[in-house]
Amino acid sequence: MPPASAPDARHATVDAAGVGMRLDAWLPKAFADLSRRHAQRCIDAGKVLVDGCRVPKRHILALGQRVVLFAPPTPQHWTATPDAQLDLEFLYIDDHLLAVNKPSGLPTVPLRPNESHTLAGVIVARHPECAALQRRNGDGGLITRLDTATSGLALAARSERAFQQLLHDQRRDRIAKHYLALVAPAQPLPTRIDAALIAAGPGGKKMRVSATTGDAATAGPIATTWLDIAQTIGPWTLVRATIHRGLRHQIRAHLASIGAPICGDALYGGPTHPRLSRLFLHAAQVDLPHPITGQPLRIDCPLPDDLTRALQTP
């Protein structure tokens, strides 16, 4: 462990507001550039001392304890780290736009500088011009974000002009994103779900349907998901879900809210499938006006083999 006087050592003292807090919850409040997940990694790596000692993430803080963090501040602006080791399928590419097939298990964007093994990293390794195109650090030109467990089509810009136009079109619901999800519904499915979503659960890891009237603090933005049945296989129903802008976990939370959580979605209580060990949610198609020509464009992404096998009857 470096000495407390090391150049990258950062110091903080627990005040009254921090008394009784877990160490991993308090660190992001003391060091604003830290997320809770990053704080947990620092603690596990032995980069955090409390009164000179290593303690676990769950350590409860007391007034006046001195905390040392051995991690330099996160830069205010940073881009995705190129990752040339992964060879992914590019579904569409021209001078201004590309679409890539993301496998399940691969994070879409990095959460911190120098994080490797992300879809954004793969994109900027192949197309360095995408690195500077971002709303948030690490976007790598991506317009659409997929959950780590979700597979399928992700859309990215290759030029600033295309990036801004795609954002403009997305805000105006001109980009339709079509997903395939496998569910075992307890009742007939509606054709449309209109429901606001807010963060819920420990650390806000989940989303849930919220009230849309009354106290504005408890009401989230309205999100719309269109549903239609693509196929019925025994007790399972393959659903085509369409969204435009899309909130975090929108399809997963909306389907769970009507008693049809997605197969393999442990976070939302989804059923297990005997032929599948992951979430059955796949970004299968996107319809959009081309950001430069304005011409209608449709890009498809076929189901991967593991999801296709799950649809085969015994």
- More reliable by pLDDT, 58 or 76: 58
User: pLDDT category, 220, cuts 50, 70, 90?
Assistant: low
Q: Is a pLDDT exceeding 70 seen at residue 68?
A: yes
CA distances from 262 to 18, 117, 180 (A): 39, 26, 10
3-class SS at 19?
coil
Mean pLDDT, rounded, for 74-102: 93
**Residue carrying structure tokens 């659409």:** 144
Q: Is a pLDDT exceeding 60 seen at residue 238?
A: yes
CATH of the structural domain 177-310, one choice from 3.40.50.1110, 3.30.2350.10, 3.40.50.2000, 3.10.180.10: 3.30.2350.10
pLDDT in the model for residue 7: 62
Mean pLDDT, rounded, for 49-53: 95
* CB neighbours of residue 231 within 10 Å: 12
pLDDT in the model for residue 261: 97
CATH of the structural domain 9-70, one choice from 3.10.290.10, 3.60.15.10, 3.90.420.10, 3.40.50.1820: 3.10.290.10
CA distances from 47 to 14, 53, 75, 222 (A): 17, 10, 18, 42
If you average pLDDT over every residue of the chain, what do you get?
92
The DSSP symbol for 211 reads -
Least confident interval from 105-109, 184-188, 303-307: 184-188
Mean pLDDT, rounded, for 228-241: 95
Cα-flanking dihedrals φ and ψ of residue 272, to 5°?
-85, 160
User: pLDDT category, 218, cuts 50, 70, 90?
Assistant: low
Q: Is a pLDDT exceeding 50 seen at residue 304?
A: yes
Mean pLDDT, rounded, for 265-279: 95
Contact of 79 with 137, CB cutoff 8 Å: yes
pLDDT in the model for residue 213: 46
- More reliable by pLDDT, 5 or 181: 181
CATH of the structural domain 90-172, one choice from 3.30.2350.10, 3.50.50.60, 3.40.30.10, 3.40.50.150: 3.30.2350.10
Q: Is a pLDDT exceeding 90 seen at residue 76?
A: no
Please give the share of the chain, as a percent, with pLDDT higher than 90.
79
pLDDT, one tens digit per residue, over 252-268 is 999 999 999 999 999 99
Mean pLDDT, rounded, for 82-94: 94
Q: Is a pLDDT exceeding 50 seen at residue 216?
A: no
**Residue carrying structure tokens 């990215």:** 156
CA distances from 146 to 156, 184, 189 (A): 12, 23, 24
Checking DSSP bridges between strand 151-157 and strand 281-289, what pairing results, if any? parallel
Q: Is a pLDDT exceeding 80 seen at residue 2?
A: no
Mean pLDDT, rounded, for 105-112: 93
**Residue carrying structure tokens 């990053």:** 38
The DSSP symbol for 81 reads P
- More reliable by pLDDT, 218 or 135: 135
Residue 12: both structure tokens together:
């903080």
Buried b (16+ CB within 10 A) or exposed e, 9-19: bbebebeeebe
pLDDT in the model for residue 82: 95
How far apart are alpha carbons 134 and 142 in whole angstroms? 7
pLDDT in the model for residue 108: 97
Count Cα atoms within 13 angstroms, Cβ side, for 134.
Answer: 20
* Domain 9-70 identical in fold to domain 90-172: no
Alpha-helix runs per DSSP H in the chain: 23-30, 36-44, 119-126, 160-171, 250-257, 305-310
The residues spanned by each domain of the chain are: 9-70, 90-172, 177-310
The DSSP symbol for 307 reads H
Which of 148, 128, 45 lies closest to 81, judged by CA?
128
